[in-house]
Amino acid sequence: MLILLNGERFATDASNLDELCAKLGFAEAKVATAVNGSFVAAAMRRITQLSEADEIEVVAPRQGG
């Protein structure tokens, strides 16, 4: 399926947000996620199903100031 990941078209076979994060290498990382503009807490990623054309944001925190 095709989704929009951080503003770029992206093909994936992940069925939920948790699986997508794992495939992107963020399985154990502290990241913020959103689907179609709505924040998704880490505990809810496993049950957040992905659909064609979903807009996904994955943001890692930065250090510094």
Report the chain's mean pLDDT, rounded to a whole number.
94
**Rounded mean pLDDT of 38-47?**
97
Q: How many domains does the chain have?
A: 1
Sign of CA dihedral 50, 11, 59, 18: positive
Q: Considering the domain boundaries, does residue 64 fall inside one?
A: no
Write out pLDDT tens, residues 11-30.
999 999 999 999 999 988 89
Q: What is the dihedral of CA 13, 19, 21, 22, to 10 degrees?
A: -100
CATH of the domain at 36: 3.10.20.30
Q: Considering the domain boundaries, does residue 38 fall inside one?
A: yes
- Whether the CB-CB separation of 20 and 48 falls below 8 Å is answered with no
Q: Considering the domain boundaries, does residue 65 fall inside one?
A: no
In which domain, by residue range, is 23 found? 2-59
**Rounded mean pLDDT of 26-54?**
96
